[in-house]
Amino acid sequence: MPNLRAMRICVLLLAVCFAVNIGSAQSTSTPAPAETSYVRLVMFDGTSRMGELLQSTESEIVLETIQLGVVRVPKYLVKGLTSLAAREYEQLVEAFKGRELALNPQSSRYFFAPSGIQLRGGEGYFQSNIALNSVSFGVTENITIGGLLSFAGAGGSVKIGKQLSPNTYASFGGIGFMDYYGQFERPIGLVFANMTWGTEDRNITVNLGTGTKFEDGMGAVYAYTADSTEYSWSPGQYYYSYTITEYDQEWVRPLLVNISGMNRISENRWFITENYWVRNLRFATRITGANLAVSYLPSNTTNFNAQSDGFAILSMGIRNLSTRNGWLWDYGMVGVLGGDFGFAAPWVSATLAF
């Protein structure tokens, strides 16, 4: 019996030692490091914050940022959160080195003219200056579509572009418009192509465009017949009714050059200038075999000579971002200068990004 009892005691001591060794090994093992998570926060005021995600609770998001260290952001200020790969985060940090992480929420346009910078996929904005309302939406990183609505008519727009290098962008597209009252025989349009150089906060853009051609009346008349008829209300007075069989139909097609620029002057304010030079290129088409009845002949009965006329539109102003509600307000002055006319008018518009 003593030997059996001794064996039981030895087995019990071995089991205790084995359990202690396992527990010691588990307590001293090193846990696997957690994977680092990077995010970009888009705020309702249009700014952006990036950093390593440390914690996310019901009320706040905690980030480790490059510039400010640990930052606690209340969730009610956050419009959206996007996860970033480590490489993408490094590239964005490099791009914003030396300046704040507040992004320009409207770098894709100036007062009205487009830049080569695209809206990001899923982002958009609504703009209104009462007379003209528009909405634009980034379908993808390279395609932006939009709609126009005014008291005179409605239309749409499309812009396709991409970033060519860190500070160079290019795009092309068009705008179509149709009036409600039938003043235009068909929808009118404008096609454009542009290049933008600079950053989202400081850039310059050159746009080249052309629009729909318009009839501009009858030019030189080459063949016609005329008949005289007595007025019934005044005997002895006559007028001629002309039947024109060959003439020049004159047309006008606008050609434009637009140069616009933007420069950030404070955390939530940008200086903008937008300028157009428009030339109306005139040309003619010979019409033969016509039978047009008119009461008088055009004064120009000589051969039509192609010529150009045009005007300039100059503007400058300020874009201000409201940090309380996220609305952008554009304030500026616009001057229109022609060969024998000129006037100035204020420009005010409001924009809400979404």
In tens, the pLDDT along 303-350 reads 444 445 788 999 999 998 876 777 889 999 999 988 778 899 999 999
Would the pLDDT of 110 be above 90?
yes
pTM of the entire predicted model? 0.63
CATH 2.40.50.100 fits 38-95, yes or no: no
In a 3-state reduction of DSSP, which class is residue 82?
A: strand
Closest listed residue to residue 163, CA positions, set 101, 208, 115, 122: 115
Fold of 124-353: Porin (2.40.160)
Check residues 235 and 175 and name the one with the higher pLDDT. Answer: 175
Give the Cα separation of 342 and 339 in Å (integer).
8
pLDDT recorded at residue 171? 95
Same fold, 38-95 and 124-353: no
pLDDT recorded at residue 229? 59
Closest listed residue to residue 311, CA positions, set 345, 334, 333, 336: 336
Q: Looking at this protein, which amino acid is placed at residue 323?
A: T
Residue ranges per structural domain of the chain: 38-95, 124-353
* 258: phi then psi, degrees, rounded to nearest 5: -120, 130
Alpha helices for the chain (secondary structure H): 2-28, 86-95
- pLDDT by residue (tens digit) across 177-212? 888 877 777 788 889 999 999 988 889 999 999 988
Return the top range by mean pLDDT from 10-14, 111-115, 264-268: 111-115
Q: Which of 120-129, 138-147, 202-211, 304-313 has the lowest mean pLDDT?
A: 304-313
